[in-house]
Chains A and B, each alone.
Chain A
Amino acid sequence: VRTGDQAVTVFNGRCMHLGCAYSWRTAGSQGEQFVCPCHDGVFALDGTVAGGPPPRPLDTLPVQVDDGTVVITYQDFHLGIPEKTPV
């Protein structure tokens, strides 16, 4: 998610609930939100929980923007719990 001219926020692609892959909805009743198809978890653009069972906001990943190149340190965290602890 682009947050500025040289700034992005990167979320881990797995739902915080039980690890399904969520996707961005462009239109419809759940438009402009990240929606998980499994147990109806919904996240806002900033990663906060907007509905459903997920126990915490989307995990952000360490990211660095270097002259137009985005460098992400990929990491997984324990799912299904309120705390963000690395696997």
Chain B
Amino acid sequence: MARLIDWLDERTGLRTLGRVLFLRKIPRGAGWLYTLGFATLFVFLVQVATGTVLALFYAPSPDHAYESVVFIQNTLPFGSVLRGLHHWGASVMIVLVGLHLATVFVLGAYKRPRELTWLAGVVLLLVVIGLGFTEYLLPWDEKAYWATTVGTNMAGTVPGIGATLLRIIRGGAEVGAVTLTRFYGLHILILPGLFALVVAVHFYLVVYLGVSVPPWLWQPRTEELPEDEAARYEGFKRQGRPFWPDLIVEDVIVSLVVFLVLVILAAVAGVPLEARADPAHTSYVPRPEWYFLSLFQLLKYFPGWLEWVGVIGIPLVLVAALFLLPFYDRRPQRRPERRPVALILGTLVILGMAGLTIAAAVTTPPSTAVERGIQLTAGQVVGRSLYLGNCVSCHGDTGQGTKDGPSLAQVGALRDPAFIHRYIEDAKALNAAAKMPEFIPPPGGRAQVLTHEQVEDITQYLLTFR
């Protein structure tokens, strides 16, 4: 082993790299608040791993996207856990990026000489938001279609270039097949690639400059030469602990806790999949993911002709303010209690976003996966979609029955699942007087109408009629 490392070291400088990355000293005072960047990178790697497997089973076309996600969800071994990890990983990533940014902001760690580290970090935040937005469309369910319709129409309200921008984003006039492949490409190639590239820069700068000394230990001096400041920083570093084997333990512990939370969310909360996208559906109530709710709510307050202020104006001002922060806030003071203006402004932005998010949440009706007060499973949601497509004309939209078909109102209490399943497949075999068409033909029969899995999903949905 040692000889192999010697061999590699001679050709690659492996030992130097290891020394620089792992044996580097972390300045005195760095504690648990400094573990958030590592944890964010860890969740990104979880997203890459789960996303790669999902991509192996996903079909990026409107004809097959929904069915392939149903397959991942219901049939693929551990598919629902995999999808759950990826779904919740996105939310956890947004939370961690937000906490990491807030910590760096409060500790004033973006100040000289770490301005570029901050810039790279803001770019990473924007990429993460982009990943969150392009993720929507991929399952091609109701939320996918409607949230993307609204989200892309927002681009259309940008003064002057709106119509062109909309066409570029959608690849056509409507959200369709080209939009899906475009978002898929962005989501799995362009944005993760950009993220990896910028994270490399961000990480290089963290290693090169070292993390900041906590503000309660660091005395700001206005008349200090850069080399004196660097020497002072070196002093803190000498008194600090090495990354390996000391601080990495804290980083790994936090990452493992985050992973545990992710697994629990994936296993307990699951991941929603709504009915297949239906552009003609007029009763659907689209709501974005929680991290876009503040923007969603903001749009309600602008009359049509000022739409662009909410869509692009306010977000652009906020992003620019965040981006340029280390260039207009150049005082060396880093202690939060001596930076009241920065802290108050930051708190106001957070409170504003939280207030908008709460206002949006309380006006949101219960999820569409709840019907008649019953929480539907993913299979039952698919079943309802199939019911509305195949059964509704005779049995009514709530199973109340019509002149062409009997009521199904109590069917879940009166019949067992096997009977319902067989009855859908071939009603006449169980009841010679039945008028209901068969939905699965005998072998060699007419073209298949529903697969066995689809009949089972309808059965599971009908079992909620009781």
> A and B: real partners?
yes
Tell me the complex Cα distance, A18–B286, Å. Answer: 12
- In the complex, are the beta carbons of A80 and B302 less than 8 A apart? no
Q: Does B27 contact A (CB under 8 A)?
A: no
Q: Does B304 contact A (CB under 8 A)?
A: yes
Q: Does B303 contact A (CB under 8 A)?
A: yes
Q: B293-319: which have CB < 8 Å to A?
A: 296, 299-305, 307
Residues of A within 8 A of B280 (CB): 13, 21
Residues of B within 8 A of A78 (CB): 156, 162-163
- In the complex, are the beta carbons of A38 and B286 less than 8 A apart? yes
Contacts A19-B149, A21-B281: A53 and B173 contacting too (C-beta < 8 A)?
A: no
Tell me the complex Cα distance, A45–B355, Å. Answer: 34
- In the complex, are the beta carbons of A17 and B149 less than 8 A apart? no
Q: Does A23 contact B (CB under 8 A)?
A: yes
Q: A12-55: which have CB < 8 Å to B?
A: 13, 16-23, 37-40, 49, 52-55
- In the complex, are the beta carbons of A39 and B300 less than 8 A apart? yes
Contacts A53-B304, A55-B304: A81 and B162 contacting too (C-beta < 8 A)?
A: yes
- In the complex, are the beta carbons of B284 and A79 less than 8 A apart? no
Tell me the complex Cα distance, A6–B128, Å. Answer: 55
Q: Does B50 contact A (CB under 8 A)?
A: no
Q: Does B80 contact A (CB under 8 A)?
A: no
Contacts A53-B302, A53-B304, A55-B303: A21 and B284 contacting too (C-beta < 8 A)?
A: yes
- In the complex, are the beta carbons of B299 and A39 less than 8 A apart? yes
Interface centre among A22, A39, A87 (most CB of B within 10 A): A39
Residues of B within 8 A of A20 (CB): 146, 149-150, 286
Q: Does B174 contact A (CB under 8 A)?
A: yes
Q: Does B255 contact A (CB under 8 A)?
A: no
Report the nearest A residue to B151, measured CB to CB: A18
Residues of B within 8 A of A54 (CB): 304
Residues of B within 8 A of A22 (CB): 282
Shortest distance from the beta carbon of A67 to any chain B beta carbon, whole Å: 27
Size category of the binding interface on chain A: 20 to 34
Q: Of the candidates A19, A55, A82, which one forms a contact with B150 in the assembled complex, judged by CB atoms under 8 Å apart? A: A19
Residues of A within 8 A of B282 (CB): 13, 21-23
For the residues of A in contact with B, the DSSP-based class is loop
Q: Of the candidates A40, A49, A87, which one forms a contact with B173 in the assembled complex, judged by CB atoms under 8 Å apart? A: A87
Residues of A within 8 A of B431 (CB): none
- In the complex, are the beta carbons of B300 and A37 less than 8 A apart? no
Q: Of the candidates B153, B285, B303, which one forms a contact with A79 in the assembled complex, judged by CB atoms under 8 Å apart? A: B153
Q: Does A56 contact B (CB under 8 A)?
A: yes
**Interface readout for A69-87 with B: 1 if CB under 8 Å, 0 if not?**
0000000101111100001
Shortest distance from the beta carbon of A11 to any chain B beta carbon, whole Å: 12
Contacts A78-B163, A80-B307: A18 and B283 contacting too (C-beta < 8 A)?
A: no
- In the complex, are the beta carbons of A80 and B174 less than 8 A apart? no
Shortest distance from the beta carbon of A36 to any chain B beta carbon, whole Å: 10
Contacts A21-B284, A23-B282, A38-B286: A76 and B173 contacting too (C-beta < 8 A)?
A: yes
- In the complex, are the beta carbons of B304 and A16 less than 8 A apart? yes
Q: Of the candidates B157, B286, B304, which one forms a contact with A37 in the assembled complex, judged by CB atoms under 8 Å apart? A: B286
Shortest distance from the beta carbon of A54 to any chain B beta carbon, whole Å: 6
Contacts A37-B285, A55-B307, A76-B174: A18 and B153 contacting too (C-beta < 8 A)?
A: yes
Tell me the complex Cα distance, A52–B305, Å. Answer: 12
Report the nearest A residue to B154, measured CB to CB: A18
Shortest distance from the beta carbon of B305 to any chain A beta carbon, whole Å: 5
Residues of B within 8 A of A16 (CB): 304
Tell me the complex Cα distance, A55–B174, Å. Answer: 20
Contacts A38-B150, A53-B307, A80-B307: A23 and B283 contacting too (C-beta < 8 A)?
A: yes
Shortest distance from the beta carbon of B307 to any chain A beta carbon, whole Å: 5
Residues of B within 8 A of A49 (CB): 304
Shortest distance from the beta carbon of B37 to any chain A beta carbon, whole Å: 36
- In the complex, are the beta carbons of B284 and A82 less than 8 A apart? no
Shortest distance from the beta carbon of A21 to any chain B beta carbon, whole Å: 4
Interface centre among A18, A52, A53 (most CB of B within 10 A): A18
- In the complex, are the beta carbons of B157 and A53 less than 8 A apart? no
Tell me the complex Cα distance, A78–B302, Å. Answer: 18
Given A53-B307, A54-B304, A80-B162; 7 other pairs, CB 8 A cutoff = A16-B304, A18-B153, A20-B149, A53-B302, A56-B304, A79-B156, A81-B304
Write the residues of chain A forming the contact surface with B, with a CB cutoff of 8 angstroms.
Answer: 13, 16-23, 37-40, 49, 52-56, 76, 78-82, 87
A-B contact pairs, 10 of them (CB 8 A): A18-B150, A18-B154, A19-B153, A37-B285, A38-B150, A49-B304, A53-B299, A55-B303, A79-B157, A81-B156
